[in-house]
Amino acid sequence: MYNNNISENFGSMVFNEAVMRERLPKDIYKSLKKSIAEGTPLELDVANVVASVMKDWAIEKGATHFTHWFQPMTGITAEKHDSFLAPDGTGRAITEFSGKSLVKGEPDASSFPSGGLRSTFEARGYTAWDPTSYAFIKDNTLYIPTAFCSYSGEALDKKTPLLRSMHALNEQALRILRLFGLNDVKRVVAMAGPEQEYFLIDMNMYLKRPDLMHCGRTLFGARPPKGQELEDHYFRPIKQRVLKFMRELDEELWKLGVYAKTEHNEVAPSQHEIAPIYAEANVATDQNQLTMELMKTIGAKHGLACLLHEKPFAGINGSGKHVNWSLATDTGINLLDPGDTPFENALFLLFLVAVIKAVDDYQDLLRVSVASAGNDHRLGANEAPPAIVSIFLGDELTGILNAIENDALYECKGKALMEIGAPVLPRFPKDSTDRNRTSPFAFTGNKFELRMLGSAFSIAGPLIVLNTIVAESLRQFADELENSSDFKANLNKLIKRVIREHKRIIFNGNGYDGSWVKEAEARGLSNLKTTPDALPAFVSPKSIELFTRHRVFTEHEIRSRYEILLENYSKTINIEALTMIDMVNKMVIPAVFDYQNELAELAIRKKSISPELSTLPEEKLMERLSKLSEYLTEKLERLTEQTIAVKEIKDNLEMAKAYREKVCAAMSELRMIVDELELIVSSKHWRIPSYSEILNSV
Ligand code: ADP
Ligand code: MG
């Protein structure tokens, strides 16, 4: 089953560059490449040929169906399957797949969240092929990656604005490159590589926990006697069953052209990580969605449930996702690589300060892009970066920026830096851009790493924000520099000024330290603790101005997405609260009663044997159980009331706040009682698998 011949299998199920070049007629291949490079629509006659070649290729590979594959606002992917067969009018069937079916589809979209973008009478949206992302075959189906829009052209998905943001970034970056005389560069592309954490647990445990099934996380669970205190799970040898899962996952991913690179045990027990080789941002987004989906389905084949929630277990490290991000030119330059020559150094510094300025100017939008009910359990909880956005540059690079700002000499291993672009920047070894895991956004040698995402996130949202805010910095820089007579002098002035104005966002210290919160406040950085605190920044005039200027979102799209995000938050907590109530009624209370009954019977029987026998232990325990049951009922009632009361609120933001303040509070009070009960109720009666059982189940 496991095939070591990676190169033979790699990408074998992808209609990629090599397949296109080999199979498409030359002129068709050229037109397709041209519209990919320029982002122009495909001519129908070209599409017809591509579709027919694609169909033959897919059928050779065993495909019987095709589907447009898209990424609605649910954060996961959706698909609508059609068969290649069409009646030929004589009672037989022929295989059919036209250019029209390739480039455009019409899924019934009424059940996808649209935040009011699609009025009910116009329920249909359409999907349009994104030719920059390759089609592939999975489960005997040809998958066509598509964007998903309403008939009025408004984006209903995560891919459309991502492509728009990449376009905006390309446009502004090219303006800068022209100023540097790099006229041969035709395209600048945002590259992304997501590192994905996840838990694997035994499927039987999963199926016994309605909270895991419905909410993706445990709503109860006393801390196990042995958690991750000993830190002995990191890079521990991988267990056989998990290894088999990982191998199959690798193999399937390789066939789909995703080169999954590292897989090892993470900090928490049963936790693992997978990282692919980076790709163009939209391709990386597709690939990460595919990876998450395959992890679930392949896991199930091995009797494993893959948990992608950011905080499946309280008191145990949650799962995050790191998105590595850089800018590449079609001529092979990484614009975030410091390089070796004065020219490369200057270019690098300009892009570096563009990112610094962008992150400082739009901290709140980055925070919005990682906000969710699930991630609220992680950010700032001493396992993930704080909710405060800052940039880690490392001491060396920070020292260089300081020197530049102050016209000072920078001493580094005998080399001095006097003026930007004059002598060569010292090469900072990758290790000196240290591994500060507490930083939300870190420079790691030739890329940035955004570490605030929750594991379940689509990487599209954060990438849309990053691309757009950096495009905005570059736009401002280009406006300023294009009109200057002395480019070099003005470049130096600009870099100095931006460092001075935005250095407050740079922080190399320990983000978990309490003093950072105070210091950040003194620096004027924002600290948006929870999702309802963060989301309003998305609809601020500054945000609307940014996104509409770069044509990434229309104002209408922003407002509808804002409503969807608020609704998602409230719905998530509502489902959690209802699940909790249900589990307490059906699983916790019966267990507590059964156990009390057993104790009472024991006490009676003891007395019937001899009145002299002490029943003190039974009585003490029953007293405790009685007391806790009383609290339990009280807290259960309280939570039930809150879930009803919150429904009365009309405004979505107010409702989200009430969920956070009232419902979440009632949930944690109820949980405390249940967790205490778990510690004293006999495991014979306790119907919910414990943390120990779950975390040691594989
Ligand atoms: P770590 O963060 O553990 O040091 P790596 O340095 O191996 O991990 O990289 C993590 C991820 O970053 C991988 O997905 C990798 O492909 C991606 N990556 C590496 N270089 C770049 C780059 N220039 N742009 C975007 N992503 C990159
Ligand atoms: Mg990393």
Q: What is the pLDDT of residues 260-274, one digit of tens each?
A: 865 666 667 889 999
Evaluate: CB of 531 within 6 angstroms of ligand 1: no
Burial per residue of 242-279, b for 16 or more beta-carbon CB atoms within 10 angstroms, e otherwise: bebbbebbbbbbbbbbbbbeebbbbbbbbbbbbbbebb
The values of phi and psi at residue 670, to 5°, are -65, -40
In this prediction, residue 266 carries a pLDDT of 67
Report the length, in residues, of the chain: 698
Lowest mean pLDDT among 58-62, 177-181, 238-242, 412-416: 412-416
Measured from the Cα of 192, ligand 1's closest atom is: 25
Average of per-residue pLDDT across 179-184: 95
Question: Does residue 462 or residue 230 have the better pLDDT?
Answer: 462
pLDDT above 90 (res 58): yes
Dihedral in degrees, nearest 10, Cα atoms 558, 561, 565, 568: 170
Shortest-distance Cα residue to atom 19 of ligand 1: 278
pLDDT above 60 (res 682): yes
In this prediction, residue 572 carries a pLDDT of 97
pLDDT above 60 (res 418): no
pLDDT above 80 (res 122): no
Say which amino acid occupies 331: T
260: left (phi over 0), alpha (psi -120 to 50) or beta: beta
**Tokens 């560059």, residue?**
17
Question: Which homologous superfamily does the CATH classification assign to the domain defined by 165-216+231-553?
Answer: Glutamine synthetase/guanido kinase, catalytic domain (3.30.590.10)
pLDDT above 70 (res 230): no
Tell me which ligand sits closest to the C-alpha of residue 276. Answer: 1
**Cα distances (Å, whole numbers) of residue 6 to 192, 250, 274, 286:** 23, 10, 17, 21
The candidate with the shortest Cα–Cα distance to 440, out of 525, 522, 501, is 525
The span from the CA of 441 to the CA of 450, in Å, is 5
Best mutation site among 278, 287, 322 for ligand 1 pocket (most ligand atoms within 8 Å of CB): 278
Per DSSP (E only), the strands in 152-269 are 188-202, 260-265
Say which amino acid occupies 432: S
Evaluate: CB of 326 within 6 angstroms of ligand 1: yes
The span from the CA of 389 to the CA of 302, in Å, is 39
The structural domains of the chain, with segments of one domain joined by +, span 6-156, 165-216+231-553, 568-695
Tell me which ligand sits closest to the C-alpha of residue 324. Answer: 1
Evaluate: CB of 276 within 6 angstroms of ligand 1: yes
pLDDT above 70 (res 228): no
Evaluate: CB of 277 within 6 angstroms of ligand 1: yes
Evaluate: CB of 437 within 6 angstroms of ligand 1: no
pLDDT category of residue 348 using cuts at 50, 70 and 90: very high
In this prediction, residue 125 carries a pLDDT of 80
In this prediction, residue 290 carries a pLDDT of 95
pLDDT category of residue 121 using cuts at 50, 70 and 90: very low
Cβ(292)–Cβ(196) below 8 Å? yes
In this prediction, residue 2 carries a pLDDT of 44
369: left (phi over 0), alpha (psi -120 to 50) or beta: alpha
Could you tell me the distance, in angstroms and rounded to a whole number, from the CA of residue 167 to the centre of ligand 2?
A: 26
pLDDT above 60 (res 545): yes
In this prediction, residue 559 carries a pLDDT of 96
The domain 568-695: what is its CATH number?
1.20.120.1560
pLDDT category of residue 555 using cuts at 50, 70 and 90: very high
Q: 150 has which bridge partners?
A: 125
Lowest mean pLDDT among 4-8, 178-182, 247-251, 544-548: 4-8
The candidate with the shortest Cα–Cα distance to 369, out of 199, 543, 525, is 543
The span from the CA of 192 to the CA of 283, in Å, is 9
Evaluate: CB of 207 within 6 angstroms of ligand 1: no
Average of per-residue pLDDT across 289-297: 96
Look up residue 510 and give its two tokens: 């320990």
The span from the CA of 39 to the CA of 112, in Å, is 27
The contacts of residue 331 (CB under 8 Å, 6+ apart) are: 182, 184, 185
Evaluate: CB of 195 within 6 angstroms of ligand 1: yes
Average of per-residue pLDDT across 464-479: 98
Lowest mean pLDDT among 117-131, 166-180, 405-419, 546-560: 405-419
Burial per residue of 195-233, b for 16 or more beta-carbon CB atoms within 10 angstroms, e otherwise: bbbbbbbbbebbebbbbbeebbbbbbbbbbeebbeeeeb
Q: How much of the chain is helix, strand and coil, in % rounded to 5?
A: 50, 15, 35
Tell me which ligand sits closest to the C-alpha of residue 328. Answer: 1
Lowest mean pLDDT among 117-126, 401-410, 531-540, 678-687: 117-126
Measured from the Cα of 193, ligand 1's closest atom is: 14
Average of per-residue pLDDT across 620-641: 97
Look up residue 686 and give its two tokens: 């306790």
Cβ(201)–Cβ(695) below 8 Å? yes
The span from the CA of 449 to the CA of 290, in Å, is 21
pLDDT tens for each residue of 656-666: 999 999 999 99
CB atoms near residue 507 (< 10 Å):
26
Cβ(690)–Cβ(684) below 8 Å? no
In this prediction, residue 120 carries a pLDDT of 46
Look up residue 282 and give its two tokens: 């939209």
Average of per-residue pLDDT across 406-431: 56
235: left (phi over 0), alpha (psi -120 to 50) or beta: left
The span from the CA of 90 to the CA of 96, in Å, is 15
Question: Does residue 404 or residue 314 have the better pLDDT?
Answer: 314
Average of per-residue pLDDT across 513-530: 95
Evaluate: CB of 574 within 6 angstroms of ligand 1: no
Q: HSE of 626 in the Cβ direction (CA atoms, 13 Å)?
A: 9
Equal fold, 6-156 vs 568-695: no
The contacts of residue 551 (CB under 8 Å, 6+ apart) are: 164, 168
Highest mean pLDDT among 35-44, 415-424, 595-604: 595-604
Could you tell me the distance, in angstroms and rounded to a whole number, from the CA of residue 275 to the centre of ligand 1?
A: 8
Cβ(145)–Cβ(130) below 8 Å? yes
pLDDT tens for each residue of 588-612: 999 999 999 999 999 999 999 999 9
The contacts of residue 52 (CB under 8 Å, 6+ apart) are: 97
Lowest mean pLDDT among 34-43, 55-64, 476-485, 618-627: 34-43
Evaluate: CB of 129 within 6 angstroms of ligand 1: no
Could you tell me the distance, in angstroms and rounded to a whole number, from the CA of residue 538 to the centre of ligand 2?
A: 27
Dihedral in degrees, nearest 10, Cα atoms 438, 442, 448, 452: 30
Say which CATH architecture domain 6-156 belongs to: Roll (3.10)
Question: Does residue 48 or residue 423 have the better pLDDT?
Answer: 48
Shortest-distance Cα residue to atom 17 of ligand 1: 193
In this prediction, residue 237 carries a pLDDT of 62
Three-class DSSP labels, 114-154: CCCCCCHHHCCEEEEECCCCCEEEECCEEEEEEEEEECCCC
Question: Does residue 600 or residue 434 have the better pLDDT?
Answer: 600
Tell me which ligand sits closest to the C-alpha of residue 453. Answer: 2
pLDDT above 50 (res 669): yes
Could you tell me the distance, in angstroms and rounded to a whole number, from the CA of residue 285 to the centre of ligand 1?
A: 15
Measured from the Cα of 446, ligand 1's closest atom is: 23
Evaluate: CB of 49 within 6 angstroms of ligand 1: no
Q: Measured at the alpha carbon of residue 156, what is the angle toward residues 155 and 162, in degrees to the nearest 5? A: 55
In this prediction, residue 339 carries a pLDDT of 86
Look up residue 622 and give its two tokens: 């029953």
Could you tell me the distance, in angstroms and rounded to a whole number, from the CA of residue 452 to the centre of ligand 1?
A: 16
In this prediction, residue 96 carries a pLDDT of 82
In this prediction, residue 319 carries a pLDDT of 95
Evaluate: CB of 447 within 6 angstroms of ligand 1: yes
Tell me which ligand sits closest to the C-alpha of residue 235. Answer: 1
pLDDT above 90 (res 311): yes
Evaluate: CB of 146 within 6 angstroms of ligand 1: no
pLDDT category of residue 350 using cuts at 50, 70 and 90: very high
The span from the CA of 270 to the CA of 241, in Å, is 12
Question: Does residue 483 or residue 151 have the better pLDDT?
Answer: 483
- Share the mean pLDDT of the chain: 90
The contacts of residue 94 (CB under 8 Å, 6+ apart) are: 85, 86, 88
- ipTM exceeds 0.85: yes
Shortest-distance Cα residue to atom 11 of ligand 1: 193
Could you tell me the distance, in angstroms and rounded to a whole number, from the CA of residue 254 to the centre of ligand 2?
A: 21
The span from the CA of 414 to the CA of 397, in Å, is 16
